[in-house]
Chains A and B, each alone.
Chain A
Amino acid sequence: MKSSEKILPYIIGGLLLLAILVANLSVLFRYLFESPFTWSDEFLRYLFIWVVFVGAALSYKNDELIDMSMITDMLKSQRATQSIEIFRHFCSLILIFVITWQGLDIMLGQLRTGEVSTSMEVPIWLVTFSLVFSGIIWIAFAGEKVFKAVKKWDKNNGEEVQI
């Protein structure tokens, strides 16, 4: 797990560098050699879909997704704060589960029909797989957060502490 966490930034950074190079080369080829890439548009779209879903799961893990903490920050009771903590991660867990499940359903359908993309002719299920793949790691992250929040709740069990 640790080594994969170290290597992941380089994979995502590398993919983005590749995206920058492909997009620039595509402009260059269109003007200099008057032969535009037919595949670059689709390649960049698919690459970004993967980066967005995996990146979003990682931002969730690092608590970097945009949220509104204004109201919850006003809560004085630690008990209430902890209850909300459990509830909101549990809600995320349920949603990601639903989305991943539905994504899997769509992906299996695409596997059956063997549908391919228009210009690169790659199997379409590879795109949907990005949602399923990041959904699975996201479920793991959310599960961990629910688990931690419940543990915190247990620790303070019975003591109503004012903060």
Chain B
Amino acid sequence: MTSKSRRRRIAAILRYAALTAWAVVAFFPIFWMISTSFKPDTQWFAWPPFYFPHPPTLSNYLNVWFGAEEYAATQYAISSQKPLISLMNSTIIAGTSTLLSVLFGSVLAYGVSRYRILSETRMFQLLMLRMIPPIVIVAPLSLYYSALGLLDSMTGLILIYFLTTLPYAVWMTKSFIDEVPREIEQAAEILGASRWRTIFEIVLPLIRSGLVATFLFILILTWSEYLLALIITKTQVTTLPIELSKYQGTTEGRVYGRQAALSVGITIPLIIVGLIIRRHLARGFSFGMVRR
């Protein structure tokens, strides 16, 4: 009996050790990013490295996000950037495309769930929109957009994000709709509600929390999208990931503190959103096939 309980205790200790080891691996880069964002410029790539900022300073944030002049005058100034405008662009583009995706996706999912308007084969073909790497269409897309005048516009990005996230929206909302018992809709139909009213006033409100989860999940994807944004935006409309990638070409090279301050600002909204829907992430990434 005692040997069994001792073995169990050793197993528990080993488990904590293994989990803690990976927790350190998972968290260290994020810690480093936050730490660097508060470091003065002499400690960005000092040897030996500074693990904690000494003393912590807000100058990186003030310079990067607000273009504060007293910091902009230093040799590491990135004065031409406009991260606050990019923040607004990112919010509008990610928000609008995600909203469209969830709105049309959930109605389509309802049609598939109740009226089988797409066969199972078609539903899987829809996944191709997501599974074929977007790199294969970016060149013709950019030429097509330039002919339409959609290059460097919010509309262009919103449209293509809408299209590429639609499979997630349809599949994920369908997994929620499938869980709603049909009796409620049948009762509504008998009482004379139209099909559209049934969707918008009965079914969608019933899966409210699922819709929110789907919205936030797709928001994660559109917020961090890089390739399409890189091609379609030029100068007028930049999203936050593109704003960050402008540091790639700076001649000084290593402006780590500034990059980190920008990175933290881009990442925080995503982490908040992700933690809100942490229970639904598995469902989202598996197109609703795995549930909890």
Bind each other: no
Q: List the interface of chain A (C-beta within 8 A of B).
A: none
Q: List the interface of chain B (C-beta within 8 A of A).
A: none
